[in-house]
């Protein structure tokens, strides 16, 4: 788990892609590694799902593309293992609950073996998370918890108390994933409220669409997540080396 800590030591630059998007295990791993070349120090590897209700059109389309080339939970883990063989970058898995619920403990065990450092289950809120949190603790995986604009201060305490691994993921916009024109006005206040509830580093994501927004977020928070903006590039069939260049621009990496 020190990999996640390292990523946050000097601002975490976090990037999301859907596993299998870009065409199969090899090619998908190449895109993730291209992000690392571009300065990303924490990868968020999305497992494709047929009914991604938290995602907007761009990531929905990416999941459809990934499923069309038969990407499964297991092949997503193969992609993680491939990335891990090449890089010590911090890595978390992003998934919906249904594809893994049949054997949660087995999935988390295999995720750990493949080289993941943490897991985010987007539709498994605190109320349903006891088993997941427990197995993560047992395996040495960080359970990544999302805080949303609707989460009140009391609930932040409930959700975050007792967590000492990973980071807090603040999904700063209402609605689904997808790029937005700007950051919400309440962002500084919300980050301050999260810091009151938890000692963990705070990463902010949802809607980040350009390097100016990345800069603004990193001035306030400990990490910044970019998803749909990058996924959109794969939709345009960008080459891995082009993705590296674009990521460098996005995160101002020399």
Partner 1 sequence: MLIKICGITTPEMARKVAASGVDYIGLLFTKHSPRQIDLATAKQICEVVKDYDTQVVGVFFDESLEQIQAIDAALNLDVIQLHGDAPRAAVANFTHKPIIYVADSKALPAELNPAKDFILYEKITPDSTIPFRYFIAGGLDKDNVLTRIAETNPAGVDLSSGVEITRGVKDYGKIREFLALVKPTYYGAFGGMYVPELLIEPLHDLTKAYHEIALGDEFQAEFINLLKNYVGRPTALTEVKNFAKAIGLKHVYLKREDLTHTGAHKINNALGQCLLAKKMGKTRIIAETGAGQHGVATATACAMLGLECKVYMGQVDVERQAPNVAKMRLLGAEVIPVTDGSATLKDAVNEALRDWASSYETTHYCLGTALGPYPFPQICARFQSVIGNEAKAQFAEQTGGSKPDLVIACVGGGSNAIGVFQAFIPDEEIKLVGVEAGGYGTGVGENAARFQSGRLGVLHGNRTYVLQTQDGQIADTHSVSAGLDYAAVGPQHSDLFATARASYDVASDQEALHAFQLLTSSEGIIPALESSHALAYLIRIAKDLPSDCKVLVNLSGRGDKDLPGLLERGLIHVAH
Q: Are 233 and 244 in contact, with CB atoms under 8 Å apart?
A: no
Q: How far is the CB of 87 from partner 1 (least distance, A)?
A: 27
Choosing from 21, 26, 44, 78, the catalytic residue is: 44
Place of tokens 């977020």: 217
Residue 123 annotated to the active site? no
Neighbours of 189 (CB within 10 A): 10
- In this structure, what token pair is assigned to residue 188? 């500084």
Identified catalytic residue from 55, 78, 117, 222: 55
Of 39 and 99, which CB lies nearer to partner 1 in the complex structure?
99
CB of 104 to partner 1, least distance (A): 11
Closer residue to partner 1 in complex, CB, 186/241: 186
Q: How far apart are CA 101 and CA 104, in angstroms?
A: 5
Minimum CB separation of residue 223 from partner 1 in Å reads 18
**Residue number with CB closer to partner 1 (85 or 113):** 113
Torsion sign over Cα 132, 80, 227, 218: positive
The 3-state DSSP class for residue 100 equals: helix
Residues in contact with partner 1 by the rule CB under 8 A: 49-51, 53-54, 56, 60, 67, 72-73, 97-102, 122-128, 130, 134, 137-138, 145-152, 155, 159, 162, 171, 174-176
Is residue 196 flagged as an active site residue? Answer: no
CB of 55 within 8 A of CB of 8? Answer: no
Is 127 or 181 the residue whose CB approaches partner 1 more closely?
127
Helix (H) or strand (E) run with residue 22 in it: none
Q: How far is the CB of 60 from partner 1 (least distance, A)?
A: 7
How far apart, in whole angstroms, are the C-alpha atoms of residue 228 and residue 224?
Answer: 13
- Compute the distance between CA of residue 36 and CA of residue 133 in angstroms, rounded to an integer: 28
**Residues 55 and 101 sit within 8 Å (Cβ to Cβ):** no
Residue 33 or 159 having the CB closest to partner 1: 159
Q: Least distance in Å: CB of 210 to partner 1?
A: 21
Query: What distances in angstroms separate CA 158 from CA 20, 68, 212, one per listed residue?
Result: 35, 39, 33
Catalytically active residues, by annotation: 44, 55
């Amino acid at each position: 788990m020190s990999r996640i800590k390292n990523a946050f030591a000097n601002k975490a630059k976090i990037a999301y892609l859907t596993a299998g998007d870009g065409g199969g295990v090899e090619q998908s791993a190449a895109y993730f590694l291209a992000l690392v070349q571009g300065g990303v120090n924490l990868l968020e590897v999305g497992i494709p799902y047929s009914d991604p209700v938290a995602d907007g059109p761009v990531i929905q389309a990416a999941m459809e593309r990934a499923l069309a080339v038969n990407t499964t939970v297991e092949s997503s883990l193969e992609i993680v293992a491939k990335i891990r063989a090449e890089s010590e970058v911090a890595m978390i898995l992003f998934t919906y609950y249904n594809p893994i619920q049949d054997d949660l403990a087995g999935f988390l065990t295999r995720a750990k073996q493949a080289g993941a450092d943490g897991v985010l289950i987007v539709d498994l809120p605190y109320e349903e998370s006891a088993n997941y949190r427990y197995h993560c603790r047992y395996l040495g995986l960080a359970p990544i918890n999302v805080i949303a604009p609707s989460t009140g201060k009391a609930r932040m305490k409930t959700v975050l108390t007792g967590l000492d691994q990973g980071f807090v993921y603040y999904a700063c916009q209402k609605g689904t994933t997808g790029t937005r024109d700007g950051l919400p006005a309440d962002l500084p206040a919300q980050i301050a409220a999260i810091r009151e509830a938890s000692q963990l580093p705070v990463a902010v994501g949802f809607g980040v669409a350009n390097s100016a927004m990345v800069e603004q977020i990193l001035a306030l928070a400990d990490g910044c997540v970019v998803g749909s903006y990058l996924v959109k590039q794969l939709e345009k069939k960008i080459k891995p080396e082009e993705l590296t260049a674009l990521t460098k621009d996005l995160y101002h990496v020399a």
